[in-house]
């Protein structure tokens, strides 16, 4: 329960989440996709060779990918990290899940390429855009949390250290390291994977898909460490208590910065609405045929 609460709070206050949900199109796409992905992956993790949770989990992942392309192949990353934390060997990996997820993702990529009103295909410009974003990730995060960036950085770092100590005590350093590498690879690959469903660069939100992936993994990591701290509070009381105190401080500061970003988005929306309202609603062409409506 502690892990679930911390993971939910982390996702809500993550800076990029505010920007994504500020636009109506982001809400329509992300609201269905994120919970469908999380519930679907949870079912896959608990399938244990059973057919119905495996099929239902893959079905929910399919619906998630059709709603929003951010989580392409990411269920494989989460399941692989869970297997690493559980100490599974290559021989005991859940290959049925991997094969099923592969088929689901390839089907979604094919559907987005050949069906629908927007024909999508691989776009190398998207990969370059994401790589530039990754190289300036700390600067971007610092700008997004500029009101309390120092407090957030210190509190988050201390919480991460305490949470990792608790997690390492339960599963071992090697398993945690492998899981961290898997998560990092999943985040880095998300830009390349999303490029298979690319829109033109004129479309809004070229970084939003990867931001949602980062926010999701940030939340999963926070939830894992919170679960370890909650379970080990009787054995490692001071370390676990330090994690929760620092985590709550970081979340509170993130919430304040998120509130500031909501204000920025609201001001921008008001400005753009007023600016567009001054444009002519219709304009007569040479043959007096009306032009498309330019109002919001």
Q: pLDDT of 248-271, one tens digit each?
A: 898 888 888 877 777 777 777 777
Question: DSSP string of the chain?
Answer: -HHHHHHHHHHHH-HHHHHHHTSHHHHHHHHHHHHHHHHHHHHHHT-TT-HHHHHHHHHHHHHHHHH-GGGTTHHHHHHHHHHHHTT--GGGS-HHHHHHHHHHHHHHHHHHHHSSSS--B--HHHHHHHHHHHHTHHHHHHHHTTTSHHHHHHHHHHHHHHHHHHHHHHH-HHHHHHHHHHHHHHHHHHHHHHGGGB--TTSS-TTHHHHHHHHHHHHHHHHHHHHHHHHTTTTSHHHHHHHHHHHHHHHHHHHHHHHHHHHHHHHHHHHHHHHHHTS-S--B-TT-PBPPP---
Whether the per-residue pLDDT at 232 is higher than 60: the answer is yes
Whether the per-residue pLDDT at 173 is higher than 80: the answer is yes
Q: What is the rounded average pLDDT of the residues 130-145?
A: 73
Point out the least confidently predicted range of 46-55, 88-97, 153-162, 280-289: 280-289
Predicted confidence at residue 201, as pLDDT, reads: 39
Mean pLDDT of the chain: 78
Whether the per-residue pLDDT at 228 is higher than 80: the answer is yes
List pLDDT tens digits, range 178-204: 999 999 888 888 767 766 655 443 344
Domain range annotation of the chain: 2-264
The pLDDT confidence band at residue 29, using thresholds 50, 70 and 90, is: low
Whether the per-residue pLDDT at 288 is higher than 90: the answer is no
The pLDDT confidence band at residue 177, using thresholds 50, 70 and 90, is: very high
Instruction: Give the rounded percent of residues in the chain with a pLDDT score beyond 90.
Output: 16
Q: What is the rounded average pLDDT of the residues 25-46?
A: 81
List pLDDT tens digits, range 50-71: 889 999 999 999 998 888 777 8
Predicted confidence at residue 284, as pLDDT, reads: 44
């Amino acid at each position: 329960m502690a892990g679930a609460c911390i993971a939910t709070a982390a996702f809500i206050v993550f800076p990029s989440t505010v920007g994504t949900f500020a636009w109506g199109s982001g809400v329509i796409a992300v609201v269905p996709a994120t919970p469908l992905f999380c519930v679907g992956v949870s079912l896959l993790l608990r399938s244990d060779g059973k057919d119905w949770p495996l099929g239902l989990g893959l079905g929910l992942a399919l619906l998630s990918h059709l709603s929003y392309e951010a989580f392409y192949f990411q269920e494989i990353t989460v399941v692989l990290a869970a297997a690493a934390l559980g100490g599974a060997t290559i021989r005991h990996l859940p290959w049925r899940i991997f094969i099923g997820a592969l088929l689901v993702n390839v089907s979604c990529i094919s559907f987005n390429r050949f069906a629908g009103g927007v024909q999508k295909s691989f776009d190398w410009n998207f990969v370059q855009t994401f790589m530039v974003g990754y190289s300036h990730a700390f600067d971007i995060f610092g700008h997004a949390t500029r009101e309390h960036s120092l407090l957030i950085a210190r509190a988050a770092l201390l919480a991460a250290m305490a949470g990792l100590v608790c997690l390492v005590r339960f599963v071992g350093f090697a398993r945690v390291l492998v899981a961290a590498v898997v998560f990092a690879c999943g985040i880095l690959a998300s830009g390349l994977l999303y490029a298979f469903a690319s829109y033109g660069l004129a479309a809004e939100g070229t970084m939003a898909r990867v931001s949602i992936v980062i926010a999701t993994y940030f939340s999963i990591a926070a939830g894992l460490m919170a679960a370890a701290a909650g379970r080990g509070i009787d054995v490692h009381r001071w370390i676990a208590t330090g994690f929760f105190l620092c985590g709550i401080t970081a979340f509170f500061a993130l919430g304040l910065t998120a509130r500031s970003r909501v204000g920025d988005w609201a001001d921008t929306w008001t400005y753009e609405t007023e600016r567009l309202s001054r444009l002519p609603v219709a304009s007569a062409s040479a043959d007096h045929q009306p032009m498309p409506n330019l109002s919001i």
